[in-house]
């Protein structure tokens, strides 16, 4: 599926249809149909042109979705995304008109996208630590995300599910106990942080720690761990 006409045929009169995991084809107006991946319209079909976005989520899976639904020539080298053999870089809001690519000045360059993602990760880590201090984080169990629970049994940094599952955790605000333990183990968390976490697993809010030092350290460790799992500079 590469065009508005093909998307229209795929919907078959419906307003929404699932394409694959976390990916939906949705009608936006009488002349607009979008491929929505997680919470982002990554491909927006119009009758005479198509637009492409990442929303700051430049992941392997996002790239695969863009290739499948409108940018088959998208490729990557040295961390940069290109759209053809002439080394034109992918930019947010890229427009495709009759197989010709145009840049419309949407303004979000790669650096801004990465900064936006870092802010989301920081917000996730902050929310995670708030739950820790509220005594609402259970001990790791077999019910945890497999990518976090079994990460040490796989060559990939995020286990058998790959890095994409981390984006789901951020979007869904899913605070995974195993992720927390992995972050402290792999990054060398202090004894104080481990004691706070142990209190949380016991179902009681941590008490007696001066100021916000330990809390700030936990936010930093979770942030660094997630950034590393997504292939970003921590």
Dihedral pair phi/psi, residue 222, rounded to 5°: -65, -40
Handedness of CA 145, 148, 149, 155 (dihedral sign): positive
Kindly give, in sequence order, each residue whose CB lies less than 8 Å from that of residue 50, ignoring residues fewer than 6 positions away: 2, 3, 4, 43, 44, 70, 95, 96
In order of 109, 119, 151, 193, 226, the CA distances from 213 in angstroms are 35, 20, 28, 10, 20
Sequence ranges of the domains in the chain: 4-102, 110-229
> Nearest to residue 163, comparing CAs of 189, 107, 154, 196?
154
Q: Are 223 and 122 in contact (CB under 8 A)?
A: yes
pLDDT at 29: 94
Structure tokens at 179: 């992720």
Q: How far apart are CA 125 and CA 197, in angstroms?
A: 14
pLDDT at 52: 93
Structure tokens at 139: 């001990």
50-67 exposure pattern, b = at least 16 Cβ within 10 A, e = fewer: bbbbbbbbbbebbbebbe
Chain centroid to Cα 90, Å, comes to 18
Q: Return the residue matching tokens 């700030």.
A: 216
Structure tokens at 67: 């290739």
pLDDT at 211: 60
Tens-level pLDDT at each residue, the chain (234 residues): 889 999 999 999 999 999 999 999 999 999 999 999 988 899 999 999 999 998 878 888 899 999 999 988 888 876 778 887 655 778 888 888 877 777 654 444 556 667 778 888 999 999 999 998 888 888 888 888 877 876 654 434 455 555 667 888 888 899 999 899 888 888 888 888 888 888 888 777 666 655 688 889 899 999 998 888 776 654
Q: How far apart are CA 209 and CA 94, in angstroms?
A: 50
Q: Are 92 and 54 in contact (CB under 8 A)?
A: yes
Other C-beta atoms lying within 10 Å of the C-beta of residue 171: 15
pLDDT at 44: 95
175-197 exposure pattern, b = at least 16 Cβ within 10 A, e = fewer: bbbbbbbbbbebeebeeebeebb
- Residue 89 DSSP label: B
Q: How far apart are CA 105 and CA 19, in angstroms?
A: 30
SS3 assignment, position 193: helix
pLDDT at 51: 93
Structure tokens at 89: 């870089």
pLDDT at 97: 87
């Amino acid at each position: 599926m590469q065009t508005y006409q093909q998307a229209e045929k795929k919907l078959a009169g419906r307003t929404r249809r699932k394409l694959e995991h976390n990916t939906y084809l949705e009608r936006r107006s009488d002349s607009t149909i979008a491929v929505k991946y997680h919470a982002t319209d990554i491909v927006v079909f119009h009758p005479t042109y198509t637009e492409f976005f990442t929303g700051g989520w430049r992941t392997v899976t996002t790239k695969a979705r863009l290739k499948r639904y409108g940018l088959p020539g998208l490729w990557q080298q040295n961390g940069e995304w290109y759209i053809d053999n002439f080394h034109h870089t992918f930019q947010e809001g890229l427009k495709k008109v009759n197989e010709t690519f145009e840049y419309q000045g949407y303004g979000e360059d790669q650096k801004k996208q990465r900064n936006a993602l870092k802010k989301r990760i920081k917000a996730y880590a902050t929310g995670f630590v708030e739950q820790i201090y509220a005594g609402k984080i259970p001990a790791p169990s077999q019910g945890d995300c497999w990518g976090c629970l079994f990460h040490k049994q796989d060559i990939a940094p995020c286990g058998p599910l790959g890095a994409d599952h981390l984006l789901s955790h951020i979007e869904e605000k899913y605070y995974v106990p195993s992720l927390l333990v992995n972050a402290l183990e792999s990054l060398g968390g202090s004894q104080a942080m481990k004691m706070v976490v142990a209190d949380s697993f016991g179902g009681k809010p941590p008490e007696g720690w001066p100021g916000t030092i330990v809390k700030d350290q936990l936010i930093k460790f979770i942030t660094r761990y997630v950034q590393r799992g997504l292939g970003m500079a921590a």
